[in-house]
Amino acid sequence: MTAPTRTTALALALAMILPVACSAQPSEPIAKPANAAAPLVTGLPDFTRLVQQVSPAVVSINAEITARPAQQMPNQEVPEIFRRFFGDQLPPGMFGNAPESRDRMPSARGVSMGTGFFVSRDGYLLTNAHVVNGAGKVTVKLADRREMPAKVVGADERSDVALLKVEGNDLPFLQLADSAGVKAGQWVVAIGSPFGLEQSVTAGVVSAVGRNTQFAENQYVPFIQTDVAINRGNSGGPLLNVAGQVVGINSQIFSNSGGYMGVSFAIPIDVAMNAAEQLRSTGRVARGQLGVRIQPLDADQLAALKLSKAQGALVADVEPGSAGAKAGLLPLDVITAVNGQQVGDAAALPAIIGGMRPGAQVRLDIIRDGKPRQLNATLSELVSPGERTGATNGATGSKGATAPSSGNRLGVIADDLPAGFRERNGIPSNQGVGVVRVLGQSAADAGLSGGDIVLMVGRENVASVAALNKALAAYGKGETVMVRVLSPRAGSRFVAITLD
Catalytic residues: 130, 160, 235
Rounded to an integer, what distance in angstroms lies between the CA atom of residue 285 and that of residue 162?
11
- Give 3-state DSSP helix, strand, coil % of the chain, rounded to 5: 20, 30, 45
Rounded to an integer, what distance in angstroms lies between the CA atom of residue 459 and that of residue 305?
11
Distance of CA 363 to the CA centre of its chain: 23
CB atoms within 10 A of CB 302: 15
Are 45 and 242 in contact, with CB atoms under 8 Å apart?
yes
- Dihedral of alpha carbons 101, 107, 113, 118, sign: positive
H/E segment holding residue 82: helix 80-86
Instruction: Label residues 3-32 b or e (16+ Cβ within 10 Å = b).
Output: eeeeeeeeeeeeeeeeeeeeeeeeeeeeee
CB atoms within 10 A of CB 428: 14
First to last CA, the chain: 91
Question: What are the two backbone dihedrals, phi and then psi, of residue 299, each rounded to the nearest 5 degrees?
Answer: -60, -30
Q: What CA–CA distances, in Å, run from 139 to 198, 290, 333?
A: 14, 40, 50
Q: What CA–CA distances, in Å, run from 465 to 28, 174, 414, 435, 451?
A: 72, 63, 6, 10, 15
Rounded to the nearest 10°, the torsion over CA 479, 481, 486, 492 is 140
| Burial label, 249 (beta-carbon count in 10 A; 0-12, 13-18, 19+) | buried
Smallest CA-to-CA distance from 221 within 261, 270, 187, 263 is with 270
CB atoms within 10 A of CB 104: 22
Quickly list H helices, 328-418: 348-354
Question: What are the two backbone dihedrals, phi and then psi, of residue 51, each rounded to the nearest 5 degrees?
Answer: -65, -45
Are 92 and 72 in contact, with CB atoms under 8 Å apart?
no
- What is the CA angle 20-21-24, rounded to 5? 95
DSSP annotation of 476 = -
H/E segment holding residue 469: helix 465-472
